[in-house]
Amino acid sequence: MKSDKITARLRKIVESFSGLTVAVLADLVADEFVFGEISRVSREAPVLILKHRERTVLPGGGANAINNLADLGVKVLPVGVVGEDEAGDALIDMFKRKRIPLDGIVRDKTWRTVTKTRILAGMTHTSRQQVVRIDHEPENDFSSQAKRKLEQAAQAYLGRSKALLISDYGYGAATPELVKRLKRTRAVPLVLDSRYRLLEYSGVTAATPNEPEVENALRVEIGNDWAKLRWAANEVMARMKLDSLLITRGRDGMVVKLGNEVVDIPIYGSDQVVDVTGAGDTVIATFTAALAAGADAVDAAHLANYAGGMVVMKRGTATVSGPELLHALETSAPVRRKH
């Protein structure tokens, strides 16, 4: 009976997503997937020759978090910077197709849109294997004018939103300094995903690092030590002055800390994943939407766990929709591990 009540509560949260508005301050990335069919081995070097078959460009990085929020049914207000280049055009076009507002996206002619190109190889009717990734990154910071427009858009959107999702991949759109200024604007949940400088965002509401990011921030190795994991969660919470913390652990699921409670949630679905690309973006999007809907961190984490478990079974940079979440709730009750 207890699990039925939890499921019903989670269902109501998901059903409320369509009435929410969430702002996103993000490093916008284009994820490019180039697939080639294995033809033969080159005579020039011991490498495969691939016959080009298809090319796909999808929202990546913070743009993937935006895309996930939109597919969950949330009205999303993105704030970020793209260049006046092909990758920037592709991201803008994708947002247009989903009717995502573009007023907060700054086009900067001095900036190169971050693009991550994954080369995939395979045979006809076989699985595709990533063989190399090429990252195209800007060599300079974006302009001071772009920074001013970015902050103005973030301030304006924050006043219209139930939460702010911060996606910091280290490319300069989301910074600890800017977030400190935004915190004074309006008291809404500020939910953080920061790849390299987690502890610098002290005072945000919640954070969703993965376990390696926590290990790097604290300079500790957690492994399978539950006591050390609890200590790490307590340490991050204290240093960042968080209300809640969600640590993703790959095939080991996730841990959420709220107050003195630490809840261990096993992975939803199979641990034989297809592709982990962008899974963290799906997790923070779902977690943020649930917090914006009024959920506590434990319920928000359960929903994020469903979403994360589903998205890693999809190939490439993918999303999870509201109906998919509801279907998962119908077929599997939320569970937690005991320690």
What's the residue count for the chain? 339
* pLDDT score, position 273: 67
Mean pLDDT of the chain: 92
N-to-C CA span, the chain: 22
- With cut-offs at 50, 70 and 90, classify the pLDDT of residue 186: low
Share of the chain above pLDDT 90, in %: 78
Determine whether 281 is an active site residue.
yes
Return the higher-pLDDT residue of 190 and 3.
190
What are the pLDDT digits (tens) for 190-211? Answer: 999 999 999 999 999 999 999 9
Beta strands in the chain (DSSP E): 21-26, 28-41, 48-61, 75-83, 105-108, 114-122, 129-136, 163-168, 190-194, 206-207, 244-248, 254-258, 261-265
- Which tens digits make up the pLDDT trace of 95-119? 999 999 999 999 999 999 999 999 9
What DSSP string runs through 301-325?
Answer: HHHHHHHHHHHTTSSSS----HHHH
The Cα 170–Cα 198 span in angstroms is 11
pLDDT confidence of 313, banded at 50, 70, 90? confident
CB atoms near residue 274 (< 10 Å): 15
Q: Is the Cβ–Cβ distance between 276 and 308 less than 8 Å? A: no
Domain range summary for the chain, segments of one domain joined by +: 2-29+59-109+139-331
Give me the pLDDT at residue 2, please: 64
Distance between CA atoms of residues 294 and 317, nearest Å: 28
pLDDT of residue 277: 75
Q: Does domain 2-29+59-109+139-331 have CATH number 3.40.1190.20?
A: yes
Compute the distance between CA of residue 140 and CA of residue 107 in angstroms, rounded to an integer.
15
Nearest to 293 by CA among 4, 55, 18: 18
Q: Residue 185 pLDDT more than 90?
A: no
- Block residue for tokens 């002619």: 109
* Catalytic-role residue among 135, 281, 296, 299: 281
pLDDT digits (tens, 9 = 90+) for 20-44: 999 999 999 999 999 999 999 999 9
Q: How far apart are CA 158 and CA 314, in angstroms?
A: 32
* Residue 1 confidence (pLDDT): 43
pLDDT digits (tens, 9 = 90+) for 247-265: 999 889 999 999 888 999 9
Residue 51, both tokens: 């016959």
